A and B are shown apart, each in its own frame.
Chain A
Amino acid sequence: MDIPYTSAEHPETRLYNGKLGIWLFLASEVLLFGAFFSTYILLRVGDAGNWPVQSELLNIPLATVNTVILITSSVTMVMAWASLKLERFDRFQLYFAATIVLAVAFLVIKGFEYAAEFSHHRYPKTNNFLAIYFTMTGLHGIHILAGVGVNLYHLVTARRWYQTDPERLTNRIEIAGLYWHFVDLVWIFLFPVLYLI
Chain B
Amino acid sequence: MTNQHVERHIRQYLIVFASLLVLTVVTVLASRIDIGITGGVILAMIIAAVKGTLVAGVFMHLFTDKRKLIYVVLIYTGIFVMVLFFLISLSFGDSLNIEDSGSR
Contact = CB atoms under 8 A, between A and B. Distances in A.
Interface of A: 13-15, 19-20, 23-24, 27, 30-31, 34-35, 37-38, 41-42, 45-46, 55, 60, 64, 67-68, 71-72, 74-75, 77-79, 82, 85-86, 177-178, 181-182, 184-185, 188-189, 191-193, 196-197
Contacts of B55: 74, 181, 184-185, 188
Given A177-B59, A185-B55, A192 B47 contact: yes
B81 A192 contact: no
A14 B67 contact: yes
Contacts of A14: 67, 69
A42 B91 CA distance: 9
Given A15-B67, A75-B17, A192-B45, A34 B91 contact: no
B19 to A, nearest CB: 10
B79 to A, nearest CB: 11
A68 B13 contact: no
A74 B20 CA distance: 11
Nearest to A77: B59
Interface of B: 1, 3, 6-7, 9-10, 13-14, 16-17, 20-21, 24, 27-28, 31, 37, 40-41, 44-45, 47-48, 51-52, 55-56, 59-60, 67, 69-70, 73-74, 76-77, 80-81, 84-85, 87-88, 91-92, 97
A115 to B, nearest CB: 23
A41 B67 CA distance: 34
B24 A64 contact: yes
A128 to B, nearest CB: 15
A21 to B, nearest CB: 11
Given A14-B69, A23-B74, A71-B17, 6 more contacts: A34-B84, A38-B87, A77-B59, A86-B7, A189-B52, A192-B48
A181 B13 contact: no
B25 to A, nearest CB: 8
Contact of B20 (A24, A31, A45, A71): A71
Which of A20, A24, A85, A177 has the most chain B CB within a 10 Å cutoff? A85
B24 A67 contact: yes
B6 to A, nearest CB: 5
Given A74-B55, A177-B59, A193 B44 contact: yes
B13 A75 contact: yes
Contacts of B80: 31, 34
A86 B3 contact: yes
Given A181-B56, A192-B48, A197 B41 contact: yes
A178 B44 contact: no
Given A34-B84, A38-B88, A60-B28, A72 B17 contact: yes
Contact of B73 (A23, A68, A75, A178): A23
